[in-house]
Homo-oligomer: A and B are copies of this chain.
């Protein structure tokens, strides 16, 4: 028999992870108590606590006081697929109002219908700070329309995502309807809104970062410990090469995944590699 040189907390941790992997501990199940685990492994309660902390910090378990520690049920992930979504939104801008009214991008991707989603939008006119000016490619202090969106799943009560969108005011102020958040949710979304002032979006680029949420974000979006946040910086460029919108989109990573598909150009006949 080989001696076990692992530290005590590591032995409990490995044991619990094996039980979870094997399905002996399933989402919703209660983890044995500190006392039980300490006795079972012949180690101190402090060591057990260390192992539980690792599982909590990595989002595997949830500590619900005074009930106990439970295996977390991962929420359903909403797949965001920009490589098809953005073209779908562009095509949709050409449809009639009735067709545009029938569905939106969030409903399409979450698989939820409109009745399951709580949507909120708030508009305000503001002036661009250094960060936003840089993103929009405008002078600092430029007038912009700031739009704040939030989408919540009514059933689960969890925030699916939040975003701040910025548009240089001179682009949209030709159509007063675009300045009034009572017109939200706007059938057809931003690409349709922009089309009403003659703007055709030509390409959209997403910059993706991930970080831990701040305490405020964690509380307001009900993000559990051990869950990072995706930050998507989305930039829309029109056919004249102008940046017409910049959004910063926050998606808690336990309920979101991103998917991008990159088509490649075919080699011509006679072209081939391998040399």
Contacts and interface: CB of A to CB of B under 8 A. Distances in A.
Interface stretch (A25-33, A165-173, A199-207): A199-207
Nearest to A268: B94
A83 interface: yes
A207 B258 CA distance: 6
Interface string A175-189: 000000000000010
Nearest to A94: B273
Contacts of A242: none
Given A196-B273, A203-B261, A206-B262, 12 more contacts: A58-B211, A58-B212, A82-B262, A83-B260, A83-B262, A96-B275, A195-B272, A196-B274, A205-B260, A207-B257, A228-B228, A260-B262
A156 interface: no
A263 interface: yes
Contact of A210 (B210, B264, B266): B210
Interface string A235-275: 00001000000000000010001111111111100011111
User: Which label, helix, strand, loop or mixed, suits the secondary structure of the A interface?
Assistant: mixed
Interface residues of A, number: 57
B86 A264 contact: yes
A211 B262 contact: no
Interface of A: 13, 54, 57-59, 82-83, 86-87, 90, 93-94, 96-97, 188, 192, 195-196, 198, 200-212, 214-215, 226-230, 239, 253, 257-267, 271-275
A50 to B, nearest CB: 10
A269 to B, nearest CB: 12
Contacts of A97: 275
Given A195-B274, A273-B94, A259 B208 contact: yes
A158 B155 CA distance: 43
Nearest to A91: B265
Given A94-B267, A208-B259, A212-B228, A195 B273 contact: yes
A78 to B, nearest CB: 12
9 contacts: A94-B267, A96-B275, A192-B273, A200-B266, A204-B262, A205-B261, A207-B259, A211-B253, A212-B226
